Structure 1
Amino acid sequence: MVYKKVLIKLSGEALAGDKEHGIFDPKVLAAILNFIKSFRHHQKWDIGIVVGAGNIWRGKSAKILGFDPAAADYMGMTATFLNSLALKDYFTQNGLPSVVLNSFAVEGLAEKTSPALAKKHLAKGEVVIFGGGTGKPFFTTDTGAALRAIDMEADLIIFVKDGVDGVYTKNPHKYKDAKRIAQATYQELIDLKIEAMDLSALEILKKTEITSFVIGMNEVLNFEPLEEHMEIGTIITKR
Structure 2
Amino acid sequence: MADTQTPHPKYKRVMLKISGEALMGDQGYGLHPPTVQRIAQEVKSVHDLGVEICMVIGGGNIFRGLQGSAQGMERTTADYMGMLATVMNALAMQSALEEQGVFTRVISAIRMDEVAEPYIRRRAVRHLEKKRVCVFAGGTGNPYFTTDTAAALRANEMNCEAILMGKNGVDGIYDKDPRTNSDAKRYDAVTYDEVLQKNLKVMDASAIALARDNSLPIIVFSLDEPGGFRGILAGDGTYTKVHGGSKAGAGEAA
TM-score (norm 2): 0.85
The reply to whether residue 10 of structure 1 matches residue 18 of structure 2 is: yes
Q: How does 1:48-127 map to 2 (within 5 A)?
A: 48-59=54-65, 61-63=67-69, 65-127=71-133
Identical aligned pairs, as a percentage? 36
The reply to whether residue 137 of structure 1 matches residue 137 of structure 2 is: no
What is the aligned partner in structure 2 of residue 226 from structure 1?
Answer: 232
TM-score (norm 1): 0.90
Q: How does 1:196-211 map to 2 (within 5 A)?
A: 196-211=202-217
CA distance in 2, matches of 1:182, 1:230: 13
1:40 to 43, 47, 51: 47
CA distance in 1, matches of 2:216, 2:152: 9
Q: Which piece of structure 1 moves more, 190-199 or 96-105?
A: 190-199
CA contact (8 A) 2:16 2:166 kept: yes
Could you tell me which amino acid in structure 2 is paired with residue 107 of structure 1?
D
Distance 1:164 1:59, change over 3 A: farther
CA contact (8 A) 2:223 2:229 kept: no
Aligned residues: 237
Gaps of 5+ in 1: none
Task: Kindly state the Cα deviation for residue 221 of structure 1 after the two structures are TM-superposed.
Answer: 7.3
CA contact (8 A) 1:167 1:196 kept: yes
Distance 1:38 1:78, change over 3 A: same
**SS of the residue 2:207 aligns to:** helix
What is the aligned partner in structure 2 of residue 175 from structure 1?
Answer: 181
Alpha-carbon RMSD: 2.2
Gaps of 5+ in 2: 1-8, 246-254
CA distance in 1, matches of 2:150, 2:209: 13
Distance 1:156 1:28, change over 3 A: same
**SS of the residue 1:108 aligns to:** coil
**SS of the residue 2:225 aligns to:** helix
What is the aligned partner in structure 1 of residue 6 from structure 2?
Answer: none
